[in-house]
Amino acid sequence: MSQKETNNLKTEEPKRERTTSAPCGRLKSHNVNGVQEGKPVAKDQFSGRTLGVFTSGGDSQGMNATVRAIVRMGIYLGCKVYLIHEGYQGMIDGEQNFKLATWTSVSGIVGLGGTVIGSARSSEFRERSGRLRAAKNLAKAGINSLVCIGGDGTLTGADLFKKEWKSLLDELLEKNELTNEEFENNKFLNIVGIVGSIDNDFCGTDMTVGTNSALHRIIEAIDAIVTTAFSHQRCFVMEVMGRHCGYLALAAGLASEADWIFIPEHPPEPNWEDHLCKRLQYHRIAGHRLNIVIVAEGACDLEGNPITSEYVKKVISTRLKIDTRVTILGHVQRGGATSAYDRVLGARLGSEAVLALMMSHDESPPFVIGISGNQPCYIPLVEAVERTKNVAKAMANFEFRKAIELRGASFERNLETYIKMSKLQPKLLVDDSSRHYTLAVMNIGAPAAGVNSVIRSFVRQAASIGCTVLAIQDGFEGLAAGLVKELEWKSVYGWTGIGGSLLGCQRIDAKKIGFGNIAAKLKKYNIEGLLIVGGFEAFSSVLQLSEQRENFREFCIPLLCVPATISNNVPGSDFSIGCDTALNEIVTICDKIKQSALGSKRRVFLVETMGGYCGYLASVVGLASGADQSYIFEEPFTINDIIEDVRHLKEKMKSELKRGLLIRNEMANKHYTSDFMQNLMSEEGKGVFSARANIIGHMQQGGVPTPFDRNLGIKFGNKALVKMIELLNKTARENKLTEPPYMLNKDSSLVVGIRRSQIQFTSVFDLVEQTDFEHRLPKHQWWLNMRPLIRILGKHEAVYKSEVMTKDEDVEEFIEDRDEKEDEDAATLY
Ligand SMILES: Nc1ncnc2c1ncn2[C@@H]1O[C@H](COP(=O)(O)OP(=O)(O)OP(=O)(O)O)[C@@H](O)[C@H]1O
Ligand SMILES: O=P(O)(O)OC[C@H]1O[C@](O)(CO)[C@@H](O)[C@@H]1O
Ligand SMILES: [Mg+2]
């Protein structure tokens, strides 16, 4: 294929205006019901109150975790909680579907897919007569506070129900179907919604409960398809769910290195068949043995005509004569175990929903509890429903740009990243009109899933602008030994989905190898920018090299760190690459351990997690696996606390739940080791329960990267490269240098991080103050806020404090931060 032809393959995206998407009114009516962020909520504070919870629409993984949190938080606050079975239909059918929940009614369900209380699509509820019957049954049972878990339809129905409530009750009173007392006691309906749907199609929340697990299913399926596609050199057209929303297809496309995606919000150009075939052909020429095309079930062309997977297959097989198969994933996507993310999301949103409901007063508007930038938030239901409807309207009017904006910032950024990645091509002929730098990448620390995704993304983008990327194998040790080789476009194909470290990594930081030694090697290979992917050592190495710039000119280059460690202890980022995969691995193991306890009975398991001094894994696993307790370094505990836990476990053994799960971080306490604790539990629990310790070790560093780690890896790699080139170009321009630019600037030594879903760069020098170097920890760790929840949901006493942001100035700042479109330069770099 000639250069001209390859150039033609670039399908130019229409230049888009970078607009700031409105914040969906989210958080604006944040404080109408009087919840205050950080204000302690006491046990039994709402004694005597009643609430009901139901699940409706298509089920989704995480609904059970949400219901569990609602029931337990409700009971903790002193409320009566009714489980309303079979959604709206159950409400219509009668009181036999309302079951008073106990603590144990929701035991053992935290990781189960689906919904144990049943879900339904009810056509009767769409009619006023159906809603009248539902209102009657609720009022008779004294339930006028509801947590509604479902998709956009469910919440639209809830909105209508709330609006009509008064007139429904008036009618019931008039017809003598309610007594005066029933009427008076239930005059107002309070509603809080949680979006439970795999589709992620509800405006105002970044993620809906279930979407992440569905993505897990899709990626598992694509990974499996890839092996057979590779063997037969086939093309697979994979159809995924999502109804009219393309989120699942988009996120799956990114995570699987798909050749092409079709989504409803971004229809292809009219002659897309030509472009598709050219792209697939081009990838084959570049050495790919297979192609993956993802079709969202709602995909359509610019005129709104459906694009079916069968049609896509026909185009590919007839035009390219490639053996092509269609796989329609179907309901598999809605099944299977709940991912760690969805379990934690369900727990956070469920608990906040109860609190919001209890704080509601008679005239409170209905809310949805969503998540925005990793922060639970209140979204006015009416506005959110309106906005969600507007997406459908925009698509019906062919206003696709508007539809994308309405979907929200997270959707928009994913789409931008996908488009960017899919348009990249190796720059075959390097013209000399611009600088083409030699960059290097290494991985230090311990292995973490997703590292290879960072490197692929970095290399592909570098190659597309004619830069050379050198791979330093085995970290600084490898550099000293000269283990350096060029990474080409082709060499990183398929890396996104591979766990472990393909470059090889070592723990040894820069200082230990010797600065002179490193400088000599950087000079030898003419390295003009260095990306270090890894854990705390990656951060400290960037700092060490930067501090040595006065002594070594070779270090006066952009030095960037991408945090990648299962411990999640790198300052400058809320999440490190690899911690989501580790969490899912550990949670899966805990599920199995709990199953074993179910069989052996009266057994307490202590699971020791990695993480160094950082209690992130132990805490989040504690929440996601429904543990009784989680011991971490950051929250000191005494022998009395452990003895109190023994007492709690002895009590628990008297109930039908004859098992216990304790999670202990490896460095939680120097003296109270896992061995010690197992012995203590065995001795103190004698005659009531037996205790076993499981140190799960290096399994935690393995595993196939989760969609979250893959996609964050792509974004981090992408941003790191863009930043590096920006720094190099700027310095080259300013200094008119032809040799490696001389950088002493603190802003050329950066950690790439994510905060409130925004990718940010922070100078390592600015992070020094924020770091506890002795224990290798950031001084502020966002997830510590979730600690009381682990205790409350495990039936311990704790003081819960709302995570929802309620102070006006915080909200304004948050919205500004969140919607700010960072690095404009980056967008125009290519
Ligand atoms: N406009 C509406 N008016 C009254 N009730 C509605 C309305 N839309 C939906 N509902 C009720 O909510 C139920 C669930 O809605 P729907 O089938 O659209 O699923 P969903 O909640 O959007 O979930 P998902 O899309 O994830 O399957 C419907 O069966 C119906 O009972
Ligand atoms: O389970 P059902 O009723 O066939 O509905 C399938 C639809 O439900 C969802 O799984 C969830 O809304 C959609 O992605 C899909 O279009
Ligand atoms: Mg829906």
Q: Which ipTM did the prediction report?
A: 0.95
199 annotated as a binding-site residue: yes
Token readout for 332 is 């598999």
Q: CA-CA distance, 649 to 632, in Å (whole number)?
A: 19
Mean pLDDT of 90-102: 97
pLDDT of the residue at 810? 64
Mean pLDDT of 284-307: 95
Pick the CATH number of 438-577+705-780 from 3.40.50.2020, 3.30.450.20, 3.40.50.450, 3.30.565.10: 3.40.50.450
Q: CA dist 827 to 157, 237, 414, 666, 726, Å?
A: 41, 31, 14, 43, 11
* Domain edges within the chain: 50-206+338-375, 211-334, 438-577+705-780, 579-701
Closest Cα to atom 15 of ligand 1:
153
- Split at pLDDT 50, 70, 90, the class of 600 is confident
pLDDT of the residue at 820? 53
* Residues making up the chain, counted from first to last: 830
pLDDT at residue 12 greater than cutoff 70? no
Nearest ligand to the CA atom of 249: 2
Token pair 């997270």 is found at 410
pLDDT at residue 821 greater than cutoff 70? no
Q: CA-CA distance, 258 to 252, in Å (whole number)?
A: 8
Count CB neighbours of 739 within 10 A.
10
Task: Name, of 23-32, 433-442, 447-456, the range with top average pLDDT.
Answer: 447-456
pLDDT at residue 68 greater than cutoff 70? yes
Closest Cα to atom 3 of ligand 2:
58
The CB-based long-range contact list for 424-429 (8 Å cut-off, 24+ gap) reads: 424/460, 424/461, 424/463, 424/464, 425/6, 425/9, 425/10, 425/282, 425/464, 426/286, 426/463, 426/464, 426/488, 426/489, 427/463, 427/464, 427/465, 427/466, 428/3, 428/6, 429/3
234 annotated as a binding-site residue: yes
pLDDT at residue 8 greater than cutoff 60? no
Query: For residues 411 and 734, which has the higher predicted lDDT (pLDDT)?
Result: 411
Kindly give the number of the ligand 2 atom that is closest to the alpha carbon of 333: 10
Specify the range with the lowest mean pLDDT, choosing from 286-290, 316-320, 447-451, 522-526.
Answer: 286-290
Helix (H, G, I), strand (E, B) or coil at 396: helix
Pick the CATH number of 579-701 from 3.40.120.10, 3.40.50.920, 3.40.50.460, 2.60.40.3670: 3.40.50.460
Mean pLDDT of 323-352: 97
Nearest ligand to the CA atom of 120: 1
Mean pLDDT of 262-289: 94
Query: Do 102 and 108 touch, CB atoms closer than 8 A?
Result: no
566 annotated as a binding-site residue: yes
Specify the range with the lowest mean pLDDT, choosing from 260-264, 445-449, 736-740.
Answer: 736-740
Specify the range with the lowest mean pLDDT, choosing from 75-79, 359-363, 659-663, 823-827.
Answer: 823-827
Measured over the CA atoms of residue 327, residue 333, residue 336 and residue 342, the dihedral's sign is positive
- Split at pLDDT 50, 70, 90, the class of 657 is confident
Query: Do 54 and 101 touch, CB atoms closer than 8 A?
Result: no
629 annotated as a binding-site residue: no
pLDDT at residue 645 greater than cutoff 90? yes
Residues of the chain with pLDDT > 70: what percent? 90
Mean pLDDT of 643-671: 93
Mean pLDDT of 40-61: 92
699 annotated as a binding-site residue: yes
Token readout for 391 is 């997406």
State in Å: Cα 398 to ligand 3 middle: 20
Choosing from 54, 55, 56 the residue with most ligand 1 atoms within 8 A of its CB, the one to mutate for a pocket test is 56
Q: CA-CA distance, 128 to 787, in Å (whole number)?
A: 44
- Split at pLDDT 50, 70, 90, the class of 799 is confident
Q: What is the number of alpha carbons within 13 Å of residue 652 lying toward its C-beta?
A: 26
pLDDT of the residue at 5? 31
Provide CB contacts within 8 A for 472, sequence distance 6+: 440, 441, 442, 478, 479, 483, 484, 503
State in Å: Cα 57 to ligand 2 middle: 8
pLDDT at residue 181 greater than cutoff 50? yes
Helix (H, G, I), strand (E, B) or coil at 735: helix
Looking at 186-295, list the stretches that DSSP marks H as alpha helix, in order from N- to C-terminal side.
211-232, 247-255, 272-285
pLDDT of the residue at 633? 98
Kindly give the number of the ligand 1 atom that is closest to the alpha carbon of 60: 26
What b/e readout covers 196-218, taking b as 16+ CB neighbours within 10 angstroms? bbbbbbbbbbbbbbbbbbbbbbb
pLDDT of the residue at 42? 80
pLDDT at residue 2 greater than cutoff 80? no
Mean pLDDT of 582-599: 92
- Split at pLDDT 50, 70, 90, the class of 145 is very high
Residues 497-506 pLDDT 10s = 999 999 999 8
Provide CB contacts within 8 A for 343, sequence distance 6+: 62, 65, 110, 111, 587, 623, 624, 625
- Split at pLDDT 50, 70, 90, the class of 22 is very low
223 assigned to active site: no
Mean pLDDT of 430-448: 83
Return the closest-CA partner of residue 696 out of 617, 615, 627, 641. 617
Residues 146-171 pLDDT 10s = 999 999 999 999 999 999 999 999 99
State the average pLDDT for the chain.
Answer: 90
Mean pLDDT of 574-584: 98
Q: What residues sit around ligand 3, an ion, with C-beta below 5 angstroms?
A: 151-153
- Split at pLDDT 50, 70, 90, the class of 475 is very high
- In short, whether 755's Cβ falls inside 6 Å of ligand 1 is no
Report the chain's terminal Cα–Cα distance, integer Å: 23
Pick the CATH number of 50-206+338-375 from 3.40.50.300, 3.40.50.460, 3.40.50.450, 3.40.50.620: 3.40.50.450
pLDDT of the residue at 658? 86
Choosing from 121, 198, 332 the residue with most ligand 2 atoms within 8 A of its CB, the one to mutate for a pocket test is 198
Q: CA-CA distance, 248 to 222, in Å (whole number)?
A: 13
- In short, whether 210's Cβ falls inside 6 Å of ligand 1 is no
Return the closest-CA partner of residue 149 out of 357, 331, 410. 357
Token pair 């404080």 is found at 31
Helix then strand count (H, E) for the chain reads 28, 28
DSSP state of 515: H
- Split at pLDDT 50, 70, 90, the class of 595 is confident
Nearest ligand to the CA atom of 334: 2
pLDDT at residue 824 greater than cutoff 70? no
Token readout for 73 is 């938080």
Q: What is the DSSP annotation of 42-105?
A: -TTTTTT-EEEEEE-SS--TTHHHHHHHHHHHHHHTT-EEEEETTHHHHHHH-GGGEEE--GGG
Q: CA-CA distance, 471 to 473, in Å (whole number)?
A: 6
Return the closest-CA partner of residue 400 out of 830, 14, 715. 14
* Overall fold of domain 211-334: Rossmann fold (3.40.50)
603 annotated as a binding-site residue: yes
Query: For residues 807 and 372, which has the higher predicted lDDT (pLDDT)?
Result: 372
- Split at pLDDT 50, 70, 90, the class of 20 is very low
- Residue 772 CA, distance from chain mean position: 27
59, 199, 259, 342: the catalytic one is 199
- Split at pLDDT 50, 70, 90, the class of 436 is confident
Provide CB contacts within 8 A for 129, sequence distance 6+: none
pLDDT of the residue at 580? 98
State in Å: Cα 201 to ligand 2 middle: 12
Closest Cα to atom 6 of ligand 1:
157
Kindly give the number of the ligand 2 atom that is closest to the alpha carbon of 57: 12
Q: What is the number of alpha carbons within 13 Å of residue 68 lying toward its C-beta?
A: 34
Mean pLDDT of 94-123: 96
pLDDT of the residue at 807? 60
Residue 785's identity, in one-letter code, is N
Kindly give the number of the ligand 1 atom that is closest to the alpha carbon of 196: 26
Dihedral over alpha carbons 537, 543, 548, 552 (to 10 degrees): 80
State in Å: Cα 155 to ligand 3 middle: 9
